[in-house]
Amino acid sequence: MPPLMAIEFLCRVADVLSDYLGGLNEDLIKDNFVIVYELLDEMIDNGFPLTTEPNILREMIAPPNIVNKMLSVVTGNSSNMSDTLPGATSSCIPWRTADPKYANNEVYVDLVEEMDAIVNRDGVLVKCEIYGEVQVNSHLSGVPDLTLSFANPSILDDVRFHPCVRFRPWESQQILSFVPPDGQFKLMSYRVRKLKSSPIYVKPQLTSDAGTCRVSVLVGIRNDPGKTIDSITVQFQLPPCILSADLTSNYGTVNILANKTCSWSIGRIPKDKAPAMSGTLVLETGLERLHVFPTFQVGFRIMGVALSGLQIDKLDLKNLPKPPYKGFRALTRAGEFEVRS
């Protein structure tokens, strides 16, 4: 068996469970044990992956809700399994519901990107890359045939496709040709490497002597993406040798959590001043200087722009009785964005 097949299947199981349960942790699995068992029973059969498409699984096994839980308590029947088999299981397009019909045909394409970056203590960008997904929400009647092309597909690395994508058109012309599943799904994921800059800067400065450490952190816009940068946060773990911390900021709110995590919520950067956080950390008795320096985790979100530079050229649709509505959006947020001090 190809080793990647097992990894891919486990990732698909995790995605389906997150989709059904709204997250993935031990408590959620215990609370919804019957649904998890039913899903695994449909997703793998005698050691072979079978039905892994969320849209088809939803037709077989209803997602958990309050009404279902109340009914199961009253009737004693805890199963969410449907009595009829979905039509797609016997069709040549197993990921698509059999002959769906909509009064209004519409399809939405979202570019969702996460920026992973490491900035060293001198402020130099050591690594900066984008992990992105093309997410599609399709409500189209019949069996439509879609073709999606990019203006600059050569920048993409490590592409990974949904099973509906025909591989040959991508290999020869770098276009995505597919019959989409019904509803929301991830069409492809990709990586864009070696970006030269990040949209914001975080400049931490720590100086310690005589048992205390002075902290100063500045945040500002480095490269204006042309859209508003919001949901900016800066987090760092206080070293174990810190007894107490007194930190304040000229903008936003600073909280020190029970697990010794300092969280600074900024939101949007104001036009009239640069956000700054400063304060002092008190070290353990007997320690003169700080020897373990924290790493700052940065969060942000930019609506309406893909920082990788990837652009959708056009989306063509065939086999539809009338032209559908097409919508395109982009979003970039921080992934593993670290600033070292």
| Single-letter amino acid, residue 176 | L
CATH homologous superfamily for the domain 106-195+307-340 = Mu homology domain, subdomain B (2.60.40.1170)
Helix or strand holding residue 225 (H, E): none
Cβ–Cβ < 8 Å for 56, 97: yes
Cβ neighbours of residue 285 closer than 8 Å, sequence gap 6 or more: 211
Of the candidates 156, 141, 70, 155, the residue with the CA atom closest to the CA atom of residue 105: 141
Cβ–Cβ < 8 Å for 113, 195: no
The domains of the chain are located at: 3-90, 106-195+307-340, 200-303
* 3-90 and 106-195+307-340 have identical folds: no
Query: To the nearest 10°, the Cα dihedral for 160, 161, 162, 163?
Result: -110
Give bridge partners of residue 263 from the DSSP assignment: 235, 255
Of the candidates 245, 116, 268, the residue with the CA atom closest to the CA atom of residue 254: 245
Looking from the CA of 154 toward its CB, the CA atoms found within 13 Å total 1
C-alpha to C-alpha distances, 196 to 115, 127, 309, 333, nearest whole angstrom: 12, 9, 12, 17
Give me 328's structure tokens.
């395109």
Angle at 37 between CA 32 and CA 42, to 5 degrees: 130
Q: Is 32 exposed, middle or buried (0-12, 13-18, 19+ CB in 10 A)?
A: buried
Interval 11-27: pLDDT, tens: 999 999 998 998 999 99
* Predicted structure pTM score: 0.82
CA distance 268 to 264: 12
- The structure tokens 């991508």 sit at 170
- Phi, psi angle pair for 163, to nearest 5°: -55, -20
Cβ–Cβ < 8 Å for 217, 202: yes
Question: Kind of pairing, strands 183-192 and 157-161?
Answer: antiparallel
pLDDT of the chain along its 341 residues, tens only?
889 899 989 999 999 999 899 899 999 999 889 899 999 999 999 888 988 888 888 888 888 876 666 666 666 665 666 666 666 555 678 888 777 888 889 999 999 999 999 999 888 999 999 999 999 999 999 889 999 999 999 999 999 999 899 999 999 999 999 999 988 899 999 999 989 889 999 999 988 888 888 999 999 999 888 899 999 999 999 888 888 889 999 999 999 888 889 999 999 988 888 899 999 988 888 888 888 889 999 999 999 999 999 999 999 999 887 888 999 999 999 999 999 98
Tell me yes or no: is domain 200-303 CATH 1.10.287.3510.
no
Say which CATH topology domain 3-90 has: Beta-Lactamase (3.30.450)
pLDDT, position 283: 87
Q: Give all strands of the β-sheet with 295-303 in edge-to-edge order.
A: 157-161, 183-192, 125-139, 106-119, 325-340, 295-303, 229-237, 261-267, 253-256
